[in-house]
Amino acid sequence: MQLCGSLPEHGEAIDIKGDHFTAAITDNRRIIQMHVKIPKHTL
């Protein structure tokens, strides 16, 4: 949240150091589920 500046809404995405984060389920006060994609070459 600090990198976004606010609580993300459903479907909002951000890339951090090559990893892709998408807010899958949110409500007015919290993120309930976040999807994360990590590139294969970093594993």
Per-residue pLDDT of 6-24, as tens digits, reads 788 899 999 989 999 999 9
CA distances from 27 to 1, 11, 18, 22, 23 (A): 14, 12, 26, 14, 10
Dihedral sign, CA of 17, 29, 22, 32? positive
What is the pLDDT at residue 42? 60
Dihedral sign, CA of 30, 32, 43, 14? negative
The pTM (predicted TM-score) of the whole model is 0.73
What is the pLDDT at residue 3? 63
Q: Where are the domains of the chain?
A: 1-43
- The beta-strand segments (E) located in the chain are 13-16, 19-26, 31-37
